[in-house]
Amino acid sequence: MIYIYYSYISENNHKKLMQEFLLRFPIDFQNKIKSYRRWQDAQLSLLGRILLYRGTDNFNEKYKENNIKYSKYKKPYFGGEEVYFNISHSGEIVVCAVTNVCDIGIDIELQRDIQIEDFQPQMTEGEWMKISTSFNKMDSFYNYWTQKEAVIKGCGKGLSVPLKSFEISQNSTIIDNEKFFLKEIKLDGKYKCHIATNTQVNEECIKILKLDSSNYYTNLI
Tell me the pLDDT tens digit for each residue of 6-61: 999 999 989 988 988 898 888 989 999 999 999 999 999 999 999 998 899 888 76
Question: Does 42 lie in the same domain as 121?
Answer: no
Question: Does 182 lie in the same domain as 109?
Answer: yes
Question: Does 49 lie in the same domain as 8?
Answer: yes
Q: In whole angstroms, give the CA distance from residue 216 to residue 147.
A: 29
Helices (H), 57-136: 125-132
Question: Does 81 lie in the same domain as 141?
Answer: no
Question: Does 65 lie in the same domain as 160?
Answer: no
Question: Does 132 lie in the same domain as 77?
Answer: no
Q: In whole angstroms, give the CA distance from residue 3 to residue 53.
A: 12
Query: Can you give the residue range of the structural domain that contains 145?
Result: 102-200
Q: In whole angstroms, give the CA distance from residue 203 to residue 175.
A: 24
Kindly report whether the global pTM for this prediction surpasses the value 0.75. yes
**Overall domain count for the chain:** 2
Q: In whole angstroms, give the CA distance from residue 205 to residue 182.
A: 14
The beta strand positions in the chain, using DSSP E, are: 2-8, 68-70, 76-78, 84-90, 93-99, 104-110, 172-175, 178-184, 191-197, 206-210
